[in-house]
């Protein structure tokens, strides 16, 4: 199913991650801003590469940004394992807003692909890896008592776009049930 013109012209997501927290976990801080900054930095290059049909540059840029998401997911999971407890859910709730901001930042990257279905198909495998990391972070928030479904429902994330590109993590929370993936 193709996105309607309405979905393509939806208002931009307001990223919350630009003022997201740094979270200490032992000797290592978890900084949601590193990932947010990376997603913001790659948006314009991705747009340029898509216009030039430079698939390898798009893939390389996505792979580079992926490492910051993977690191965030790993560090956050360790934090949850070490400190996780439902009694900390209020504390983690503060950080969940930064996560929604990161999703907003990445949604802006996805928006750059809408007019380039060939490139999005070629990048499907890479995007699947992003989906796995977003799923991991969402599950960790849920494990400490953060209501992820409520968090998503109060955000301006457009799950239609995520589903269009084959993301599934949001479906666990009741969003994007219909499959609109071009893959």
Structural domain includes residue 89 = yes
Give residue-wise pLDDT tens across range 40-69. 999 999 999 999 999 999 999 999 999 999
71 part of a folded domain: yes
- Domain range enclosing 31: 14-173
Write the DSSP symbol of residue 166: T
Let me know the angle formed at the C-alpha of 137 by 131 and 138, rounded to the nearest 5 degrees.
85
The answer to whether position 127 is within a domain reads yes
Which of the 8 DSSP states describes residue 11? Answer: P
Asked, for residue 73, whether it belongs to a domain, the answer is yes
Position 95 scores a pLDDT of 83
Instruction: Give CA–CA dist 18/37, Å, rounded.
Output: 8
The structure's pTM equals 0.79
What is the tally of structural domains in the chain? 1
Q: Is residue 29 part of a domain?
A: yes
Backbone φ, ψ for residue 128 (5° rounding): -60, -35
As a whole number of angstroms, the distance between CA 38 and CA 113 comes to 17
Contact 161, 7 (CB under 8 A): yes
48 belongs to a structural domain = yes
């Amino acid at each position: 199913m193709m996105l309607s013109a309405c979905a393509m012209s939806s208002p931009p997501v307001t990223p919350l991650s630009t003022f997201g927290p740094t979270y200490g976990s032992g000797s290592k801080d978890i900084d949601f801003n590193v990932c947010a900054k990376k997603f913001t930095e790659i948006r314009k290059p991705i747009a340029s590469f898509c216009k030039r049909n430079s698939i390898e540059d798009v893939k390389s840029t996505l792979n580079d940004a992926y490492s910051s998401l993977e690191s965030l997911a790993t560090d956050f999971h360790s934090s949850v394992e070490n400190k996780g407890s439902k009694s900390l859910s209020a504390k983690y709730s503060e950080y969940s807003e930064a996560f929604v901001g990161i999703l907003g930042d990445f949604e802006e990257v996805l928006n750059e692909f809408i007019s380039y279905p060939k490139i999005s198909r070629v990048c499907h495998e890479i995007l699947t890896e992003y989906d796995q990391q977003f799923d991991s972070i969402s599950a960790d928030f849920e494990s400490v008592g953060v209501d992820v479904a409520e968090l998503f429902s109060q955000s301006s994330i457009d799950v239609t776009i995520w589903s269009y590109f084959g993301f599934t993590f949001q479906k666990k929370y009741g969003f994007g049930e219909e499959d609109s993936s071009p893959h």
